[in-house]
Structure 1
Amino acid sequence: MLSTHRAFYDAVETGDVDLMSSLWVDDVHTSCVHPGAEPLRGTDAVLRSWTLLMANVGYIQFFLTDVEVNTMPPGAEEPDTAVVTCTENILSGEGVESVDAFSGGKAVCTSILVRDRSSGPWKFWSRHASPVIDIDPEAPEEP
């Protein structure tokens, strides 16, 4: 399932709509919550959002940390559900003035991946990402 999880980020980084489409369960109950946005429901809406995002982002790269996987049923030899949490450390060329400049951000993400009982490929069922706000403890307080 981690190869499917990594393929998701590869799809975003390269703008590969076909790869992104292959990674999601085709169902009206799939869901995705982008940072700061309302939930999207259904594979068509989810894929449309990723297609728009990928078409409008020039350079983006994800460095994943704190990756943790829990499978269900717990201890099963052939689990059919996995919950993957991670921190996305994001490097982007969006919103910067210079061609040689980059900006960064951080989000925490929870993804639920499923597969059918016949050991089919892992696919995304749900994904939720929330921004992490870095607060500088040395910064002066605003009035």
Structure 2
Amino acid sequence: MAREVLVRHRAFYDAVESGDVDLMASLWVDSPSVTCVHPGAEALEGTETVLRSWTLLMANVEYIQFFLTDVQVAWPLGPDADLAVVTCTENILSGEGTESPEQFAGGKAVCTSVLVRSGGDWRFCSRHASPVLDIDPEAPQEPGMTDPA
């Protein structure tokens, strides 16, 4: 069962990377309670609003690729339930914000996706991605900040 969830989870990234709006639409539950939080943005509610945000993102990003690490599936209601939570780290390679098509920018986000079994298929009902800041341990700290180590 974890394999089925992970296949659907990967299909989400395939949809973004290829700009496949139809595939993206097929991966989400159709409900006003669907939620999505893009890194650094406010929460979006409802399937139509969430899909519109992904359509705009895919239309405005020339190149994006995700390398997923730390992928884990949890079963909060037990392994036979119709609810799975997938967490991962998204290592993102993109051409956005660069001056040349030969240049790439990178970023990292931690993501939690909640999938439910609906009509025999696993579908997203919630997704939240938060940026991971790359903090230089050698950088001078602001006054009043303490080293957590």
TM range, smaller chain: over 0.9
CA distance in 2, matches of 1:80, 1:138: 46
What does 1:96-111 correspond to in 2, within 5 Å? 96-111=98-113
2:22 partner SS: helix
Counterpart of 1:40?
A: 44
**Residue pair 1:32, 1:127 contacting (<8 A) in 2 also:** yes
CA distance in 1, matches of 2:78, 2:142: 48
Counterpart of 1:130?
A: 130
Count, aligned residues: 139
CA distance in 2, matches of 1:55, 1:38: 20
2:102 partner SS: coil
2:106 partner SS: strand
How much has 1:139 moved relative to structure 2? 2.2
How much has 1:72 moved relative to structure 2? 3.9
Q: Which amino acid aligns with 1:98?
A: S
Unaligned stretches of 5+ in structure 1? none
Counterpart of 2:35?
A: 31
How much has 1:142 moved relative to structure 2? 6.0
4+ residue runs of structure 1 moved beyond 6 angstroms? none
CA distance in 1, matches of 2:76, 2:116: 10
Equivalent of 1:86, from 63, 66, 88?
A: 88
Out of 22-31 and 63-72, give the one that drifted further.
Answer: 63-72
Equivalent of 2:71, from 42, 67, 70?
A: 67
1:4 aligns with 2:8: yes
Equivalent of 2:116, from 110, 114, 120?
A: 114
CA distance in 1, matches of 2:40, 2:133: 12
Equivalent of 2:54, from 32, 50, 64?
A: 50
1:101 partner SS: coil
CA distance in 2, matches of 1:91, 1:139: 25
Counterpart of 1:18?
A: 22
Give me the TM-score of the superposition, normalised by structure 1. Answer: 0.93
Give the % identical residues. Answer: 73
Q: Which amino acid aligns with 2:89?
A: T
